[in-house]
């Protein structure tokens, strides 16, 4: 069941103040969504984005939410249901990355908790707030989860991030299958697994064999189209699909040699990024 437009739908985007999240919110506004709800922890930038989108004619609501806090998620979700009602389109985009060190060099153990909470647990808790109403409804509904190609193959200097995205991917695709098994064909889950994107989050990371840093507008364009089409899994670019396929068939030593040779295993050597 393809969704041609989100016009008339109520859309919620996490991590919506900037980067991919802001672009997703712009898409929803441009297509005439009935309401666009923005969640982010950065209050100043969030207010600026909300004002900008409202200026384009969007019916925009914004909430400062720390999605690493389960209670904060529940409180914000209750407020959303009061303000706009049930959500039709949920975009779980918020994420953080810590890197450029080997796991045993981790200095702040809170980074582990934060990464897992935001990248893995938050999409689960947030979806659980809105998915039951989607299931009960009859209109086309979508959950778009931004995972990562780091959830497909192992990668040095980002072990915790990879773990969080492996968890996100496994959960997201399992929920998709559950919905299919239960006969809720009007609700579709799409999982996106891109490589490094030029949002600033992965500054310093290197592209590898035939895999440049992806443009955020291109990632959003593809993700949005695939979400509306209800397609289950999108891996960007094609080299990531190849790496995953080879990882599944090659012996471990051969896999490591291949991924090391094409540059995957050294792509985070000079990572700087930003804490967001």
* Catalytic center residues: 161
User: Can you tell me which residue has the tokens 């969030």?
Assistant: 46
Q: Are 114 and 68 in contact (CB under 8 A)?
A: yes
DSSP assignment of 99-137 equals -SS-GGG---THHHHHHHIIIIIHHHHHHHHHHHHHHHS
Please state, in angstroms and rounded to a whole number, the distance separating the CA atoms of residues 127 and 222.
22
For 180-218, b/e burial (b = at least 16 CB within 10 A) is: eeeebebbbbbbbbbbbbbbebbeebbebeebebbebee
In which element (H, E) is residue 152 found? Answer: none
Q: Which phi-psi region, left, alpha or beta, contains residue 151 (left: φ > 0; alpha: ψ -120 to 50)? A: alpha
């Amino acid at each position: 069941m393809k969704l041609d437009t989100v016009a008339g739908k109520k859309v919620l985007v996490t991590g919506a103040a900037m980067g991919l999240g802001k672009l997703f919110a712009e898409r929803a506004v441009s297509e005439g969504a009935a309401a666009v709800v923005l969640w982010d922890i950065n209050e100043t930038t969030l207010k600026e984005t909300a004002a900008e989108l409202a200026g384009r004619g969007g019916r925009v609501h914004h909430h400062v939410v720390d999605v690493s806090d389960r209670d904060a998620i529940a409180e914000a979700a209750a407020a959303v249901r009061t303000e706009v009602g049930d959500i039709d389109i949920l975009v779980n985009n918020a994420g953080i990355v810590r890197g450029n060190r080997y796991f045993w060099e981790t200095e702040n153990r809170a980074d582990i908790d934060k990464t897992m909470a935001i990248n893995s647990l938050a999409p689960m808790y947030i979806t659980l707030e809105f998915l039951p109403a989607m299931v009960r409804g009859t209109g086309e509904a979508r959950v778009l989860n931004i995972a990562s190609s780091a959830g497909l193959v192992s990668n040095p200097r980002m072990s915790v991030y990879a773990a969080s995205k492996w968890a996100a991917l496994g959960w997201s695709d399992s929920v998709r299958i559950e919905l299919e098994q239960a006969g809720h064909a009007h609700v579709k889950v799409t999982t996106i697994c891109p490589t490094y994107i030029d949002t600033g989050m992965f500054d310093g990371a290197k592209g590898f064999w035939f895999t440049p840093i992806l443009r955020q507008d291109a990632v959003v364009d593809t993700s949005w189209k695939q979400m509306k089409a209800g397609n289950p899994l999108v891996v960007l670019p094609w080299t990531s699909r190849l790496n995953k396929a080879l990882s599944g068939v090659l012996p471990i030593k051969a896999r490591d040699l291949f991924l090391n040779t094409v540059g995957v295993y050294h792509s985070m050597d000079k990572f700087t990024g930003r804490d967001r």
